[in-house]
Amino acid sequence: MAARLDIVLGRIEQLALDAVVNAANRHLLPGAGVDGALRRAAGPELTRLTETLQPLAPGEAIITPGFDAPAKHIIHVAAPMWFADGGEDDKIAELAACYRSAIATAHAHGLATIGFPCLGTGIYGWPAESACDIAIENVRAALTQAHNINRVVFCCFLQSDADLYAARLN
Per-residue pLDDT of the chain (170 residues; tens, 9 = 90+): 578 999 999 999 999 999 999 999 999 999 999 999 999 999 999 999 999 999 999 889 999 999 999 999 999 999 898 988 888 999 999 999 999 999 999 999 999 999 999 999 998 999 999 999 999 999 999 999 999 999 999 999 999 999 999 999 98
As for how many domains the chain has, the answer is 1
pTM reported for the whole predicted model: 0.96
Q: Is 42 left (phi over 0), alpha (psi -120 to 50) or beta?
A: alpha
Pairwise CA distance, residues 86 & 136, whole Å: 23
Which of 101, 86, 112 shows the shortest CA–CA distance to 4?
A: 112
Pairwise CA distance, residues 72 & 52, whole Å: 20
Which residues form the catalytic set?
Answer: 35
- Measured at the CA of 139, the angle between CA 149 and CA 78, to 5 degrees, comes to 105
CATH code for the domain in which residue 32 is found: 3.40.220.10
Edge-first strand order for the sheet with 4-9 is: 4-9, 151-156, 113-116, 19-23, 73-77, 61-65
* Containing structural domain, residue 11: 4-169
Which of 153, 78, 60, 69 shows the shortest CA–CA distance to 120?
A: 78
